[in-house]
A = this chain, B = another copy of it.
Amino acid sequence: MSGSTFGNIFKITTWGESHGPGVGVVVDGCPAGLRLDEADVQAFLDRRKPGASRYATQRKESDSVEILSGLFEGRTTGTPISMLVRNTSQRSSDYSDIASYYRPGHADYTFDQKYGFRDYRGGGRSSGRETIGRVAAGAIASRLLAELGITVTAYTQAIGGIEIPDAERPLEKLDIEESRSNPTGMPDRATSLKAEAYLKLCMENLDSAGGIVACRISNMPAGIGEPVFDKLDADLARAVLSIGAVKAFEIGDGVKASSANGSANNDSFRMRDNKVTKATNHAGGILGGISDGSEIVLRAHFKPTPSIFQKQDTVNKNGEDITVQIKGRHDPVIVPRAVVVVESMTAITILDLLLQNMTSQVDRIKEFYSDN
């Protein structure tokens, strides 16, 4: 079936494999009149580009985006925006040996089981390159959210268990600028250096690490999210888990909430500046699947990169137990490059729900069409 489309109103369809001609996305349902050019999208793509640091694969892709439709005189026209990034560095030979066996922790076996065969030249559709389409679409969603005054900010919270201190501090207390320039994506230089030392060790051990990406949504209006299956947190969970290697999703206090008491977990409402606010934010900005107007806070837990250079047990396509040693170029950690992917999927999800919410009340629909 068709699983490459995401969203109801702001709808994206990604396509492409790691070793085909290219990857891309069609963004349908983007409202007309948004100022946009390729540089806006390129800026997002550059944040996930390989080769940016020593902890990322040295594959050199320029990852230059071409916008093929949906723009006219610098604005979106309301019609589908098709974006293409050519694959320019296809060293298939690196991968030729993996055709014959199933790499542990990878989707080789499951793709073969599902489709009867697979493009064995690399990760194919399960490659990290698939996320290029998501990020290109996320750049557009973020541009539109910015017009509404909403910002989405993701960063690395932890790598291999090394976590930034006081992880729940307010966003303005985090050094987001630092996170955009260091190789870990952590908004805290001291922790980043520790994490880098840890990653160096991982590489020496021919091993890899996982980590946590946190994401905050600021200035979110209340009322967004559609009961009962398109709850804001439910749709965010799907969006985030659809990113390869994510094994857990938390909103607000997340797993900690399951061992707390109601008296501690409930957030009191209080008036502040004539507005209903919450004294605390254990809920992470969502009540009953609908945004409550406070900051939305989510976390994605990534497993360690499955491609490690140690010897590993596996089976080959002849059904024999074998031992393999993977070659090629692989990040010892994918978390830093995944930050912008989490940010993009979050932006796409909340934009879609913001648009869906516009039809919630008859009076506001009447007002809308009375202007017309």
Contact = CB atoms under 8 A, between A and B. Distances in A.
Copy number in this complex? 4
A305 B249 CA distance: 21
A93 interface: no
Contacts of A119: 72, 77
A292 B126 CA distance: 15
**Interface residues of A, dominant DSSP:** mixed
Contact of A15 (B78, B82, B259): B82
A206 B261 CA distance: 10
A118 interface: yes
Contacts of A96: none
Interface string A226-267: 111111011111111110101111111111011111110111
A229 B110 contact: no
B365 A358 contact: yes
B3 A227 contact: yes
Contact of A313 (B80, B262, B270, B305): B270
B290 A113 contact: yes
B247 A254 contact: yes
B276 A315 contact: yes
Contacts of A23: 69
Interface string A338-372: 00000000000000001111111111111111011
Interface string A123-144: 0111000100000000000001
Interface in A174-205: 202, 205
Contacts of A240: 237
A78 B359 CA distance: 9
Given A28-B3, A268-B313, A116 B257 contact: no
A257 B28 contact: no
